[in-house]
């Protein structure tokens, strides 16, 4: 069976700095029509930074959509037109942790919520971290604290609900596999 949906029409509802929202009318494989609400996003990068003493560097920050604090791997959005994703990852690592690396390994790409968004997350890993000479400032609306957790502490943070986002949970699984 061919599962392709044909877009019949699309209406842009909102154009923002981070996302655009649209509604599509589509023809389904069975000939019926349906509406699809779509969130367009430029994509993002996440970094799994492991210290020399085998700790994962995470950032604690407030997440407005959930109305609570989370612990997450350093990450950030890709700006329109940015093509060198390793440079984006290094920028975010610098900005959020004050660290850099010359050994950035691409782990995988994944769609964060393919049911309604095209956001593609690009995940990187490094266990060769060094302090930066010039730390980039955080975004004006960004407030965070850096924390370093062992694998066991990070797993406990998942169980407690403090680590609750897909990219960070995926990062923990990857880190755990590297330790075996």
Q: How far apart are CA 23 and CA 36, in angstroms?
A: 6
Q: Kindly report the pTM of this predicted structure.
A: 0.93
Q: Where are the domains of the chain?
A: 6-40, 42-179
Is 144 strand, coil or helix?
Answer: strand
Over residues 12-39, the pLDDT tens digits come to: 999 999 999 999 999 999 999 999 999 9
3-state secondary structure 35-72: EEEEEEECCEEEEEEECCCCCEEEEEEEECCCCEEEEE
Residues 125, 90: Cα–Cα separation, whole Å: 11
CA distances from 132 to 20, 24, 93 (A): 34, 45, 10
CATH of region 42-179, choose from 3.90.1150.10, 3.30.70.3340, 3.20.20.370, 3.90.79.10: 3.90.79.10
pLDDT tens readout for residues 34-51: 999 999 999 999 999 999
């Amino acid at each position: 069976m061919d599962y392709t949906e044909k877009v019949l029409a699309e209406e842009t509802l909102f154009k923002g700095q981070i996302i655009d929202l649209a509604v599509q009318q589509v023809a389904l494989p069975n000939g019926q029509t349906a509406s699809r609400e779509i969130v367009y996003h430029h994509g993002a990068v996440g970094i799994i930074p492991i210290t020399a003493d085998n700790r994962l560097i995470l950032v604690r920050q407030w997440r407005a959509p959930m109305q609570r604090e989370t612990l997450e791997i350093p990450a950030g959005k890709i700006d329109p037109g940015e093509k060198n994703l390793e440079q984006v990852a290094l920028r975010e690592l610098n900005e959020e942790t004050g660290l850099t690396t010359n050994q950035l390994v691409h782990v995988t790409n994944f769609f964060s919520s393919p049911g309604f968004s095209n956001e593609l997350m690009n995940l990187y890993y490094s266990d060769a971290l060094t302090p930066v000479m010039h730390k980039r400032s955080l975004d004006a609306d960004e407030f965070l604290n850096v924390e370093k957790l062992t694998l066991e502490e990070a797993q406990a943070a998942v169980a407690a609900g403090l680590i609750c986002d897909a990219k960070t949970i995926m990062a923990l699984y990857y880190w755990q596999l590297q330790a075996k």
